[in-house]
Amino acid sequence: MRTGTDGGADGLAWKSLARCAEAVVGWWAVLRSPPRMPLGVLTVDLHCIAVMAIAALVAIVATMGTVDGAAMAWQATLKLSFVTPFEDITDFGRSQWLLVPAAVLMLVVAAVNSPVLGHISNLVLTAVIVRLGFVFAAIALPSLLVTVVKRLIGRVRPSDLGPFAYYPFSWRASYASLPSGHATTVFAALVAIGLVWPRARPFLLAYALVIAVSRIIVSAHYPSDVVAGAAFGALGALLVREWFAVRRLGFAVAADGQIHTLPGPSFRRIKGVVRRLLGQ
């Protein structure tokens, strides 16, 4: 059996790694490329996002003033046997549960992408990569940004100090309550994955709501933290969609300025490519 970079298992591994590295460089170049259309076409969509952001801010302030204290008192009445299961459930709101699979799938698709598969098969794989790349960026960017923002705000997590205790510019986890990072992640996923695979929306909504409520039950956040995280994640994912849309990556901007999801490869085509890869 031959070894090295020109044949055998080692050669195949090196070629796969080379394709992955080439794909990463290519993706970065595409994402940094100039828009294919003027940003002015997004005026209507940006206006809608601005209105939603203002509405979310009003909801956050209202929740902070009317619900947070009562929720803290309610949480204190919960039995440990009820809270304990949610301590496990809430961990599924961590971003790595979504980002790692998306990143691995992108690298796998890049590794198997080869001219040998033919033009149509490679187009299918490219379409899959674009959609996975959007989902990854739409979840990762809001989650990363909120990690910084919450520490700059410095709201104290639920404690005897009450819902209006703040220590701005603190980098301690105990002073990083607003917004909720878990809520940001799951609502960004709800929007991002829901835009690409609409049929998954009911399951994603249930997932997002369970994680959001779990953050309150385990006394990690106030309700207003969760509302803020949900808004941050959802609006952040929509802004990432606009970045992709003006470059016609998975989305397109219509003449009226509305953004539409471009048709993706059907399950039948994807299954056909997989069969071809497996030599069936």
Q: What is the pLDDT along the chain (280 residues), one digit of tens a residue?
A: 344 444 555 665 666 666 667 666 766 666 667 776 666 677 878 889 999 999 999 999 999 999 999 999 999 999 999 999 999 999 999 999 999 999 999 888 877 766 666 667 777 888 888 999 999 999 999 999 999 999 999 999 999 999 999 999 988 889 999 999 999 999 999 999 999 999 999 999 999 999 999 999 999 999 999 999 999 999 999 999 999 998 889 999 887 778 999 988 777 777 777 777 666 4
Inter-CA distances, 127 with 103, 117, 130, 206, 278, Å = 15, 15, 5, 27, 20
Residue 143 has a pLDDT of 96
Please spell the DSSP secondary structure of the chain, one letter per residue: ---STTSHHHHHHHHHHHHHHHHHHHHHHHHTSPPSS-GGGGHHHHHHHHHHHHHHHHHHHHHHHHTHHHHHHHHHTS-HHHHHHHHHHGGGGSTHHHHHHHHHHHHHHHHH--GGG-HHHHHHHHHHHHHHHHHHHHHHHHHHHHHHHHHHHTBPPSSTT-TT-B-TT---GGG--SS-HHHHHHHHHHHHHHHH-GGGHHHHHHHHHHHHHHHHHTTS--HHHHHHHHHHHHHHHHHHHHHHHTTTSSEEE-TTS-EEEPP---HHHHHHHHHHHTT-
Domain ranges of the chain: 39-277
pTM of the model: 0.88
Q: What is the C-alpha to C-alpha distance for residues 164 and 64, in angstroms, rounded to an integer? A: 8
CB distance 97 to 7 below 8 Å: no
Q: What is the separation of C-alpha 245 from the centre of its chain, rounded to a whole number of angstroms?
A: 17
Residue 196 to residues 123, 128, 173, 200, 215: CA-CA distances in angstroms?
Answer: 17, 10, 33, 9, 27
Q: Is 250 left (phi over 0), alpha (psi -120 to 50) or beta?
A: left
The alpha carbon of 207 is separated from its chain's Cα centroid by a whole number of angstroms, namely 13
Full DSSP string of 114-164: -GGG-HHHHHHHHHHHHHHHHHHHHHHHHHHHHHHHHHHHTBPPSSTT-TT
Give the pLDDT of residue 4: 44
* C-alpha triplet 193, 198, 204: angle, nearest 5°: 55
Please check whether residue 275 is in contact with residue 265, taking contact to mean a CB–CB distance below 8 angstroms.
no
Q: Considering Cα of 13, then 126, then 119, then 32, what sign does the dihedral take?
A: negative
Tokens of 147: 């990690």
